[in-house]
Structure 1
């Protein structure tokens, strides 16, 4: 039994559409727990790329995942269209805590909810950098306290 009720779509200011993949299913016929982490990573990076604040190929700043966690509420399976709700719970000097939820198309209650922490670093040195400028502005727009 999950320790809390599933979040609803209304709790997330942004929704990123995704599709389950054939390889996501495990032998039990549902999406394997590890696949959810690819959904979270994909949703965060898709949003940042589309907002124009992340260049995964040539940008000087990259986000490294330092912490994740997930609570599962209902199974998903291939083929299902999904969406991932995205918000920022905490914006620090060099880090951001995202909170995310995976929703089956047409459902208001999340199938899974997670947190995902990025530390932003210099691509070459891997030393933490201050989240500033346009990146900070975009992340502040997702901040829900």
Structure 2
């Protein structure tokens, strides 16, 4: 199936994509997300909020949460020795992301980003993440994103390296 976007860009969409998305959306509507406990996550990364993170409503703007998700995952990948931001031959590109908000976060609070790996594919990984105000037992927000690993130069999907897979397995819960 070929679709033309409002900007006139032609893209090839798998024939079953719309059906799959509609089915997934109806399933998700029946499952209202809830705040998550800390023990639902494998590792945490502490992030300090900044004055600039707050918006006109006096709380951290929603887009900042996505930055925290990205920061936490990439920091863990660097610490585990499987991401060199300048030299890695394969890189993870975010192809899907979502966040549910339960309670506000405001500067100058510190937050802990909980990270777990929910699914490891051949060339992809689904991370599930949560934002916890420091010291709080339940998440203020939770979400996910999917990395598809690609060759840095060609941007074509590549299989996860053995070292990357091993590092990501440490973020899976039993």
Calculate the TM-score normalised by the size of structure 2: 0.80
Compare relative contact order (CA 8 Å, sep 6+) and give the higher one, 1 or 2.
1
Q: 1:105 aligns with which of 123, 134, 158?
A: 134
For residue 82 of structure 2, give the secondary structure of its aligned residue in structure 1: coil
The aligned residue for residue 77 of structure 1 is 106
The aligned residue for residue 145 of structure 2 is 116
The aligned residue for residue 123 of structure 2 is 94
* Aligned-partner Cα distance in 1 for 2:107–2:33: 26
Conservation of the 8 A alpha-carbon contact between 1:96 and 1:117: yes
The aligned residue for residue 21 of structure 1 is 50
Report the Cα offset of residue 143 of structure 1: 1.7
Q: 2:71 aligns with which of 17, 38, 42?
A: 42
Q: How many residues align?
A: 144
Identify the structure with the greater helix proportion.
2
The aligned residue for residue 137 of structure 1 is 166
Q: Larger radius of gyration, structure 1 or 2?
A: 2
Conservation of the 8 A alpha-carbon contact between 1:91 and 1:143: no
Conservation of the 8 A alpha-carbon contact between 1:20 and 1:81: yes
Moved over 3 A (4+): none
Calculate the TM-score normalised by the size of structure 1: 0.96
* Aligned-partner Cα distance in 1 for 2:40–2:129: 10
Report the Cα offset of residue 132 of structure 1: 2.2
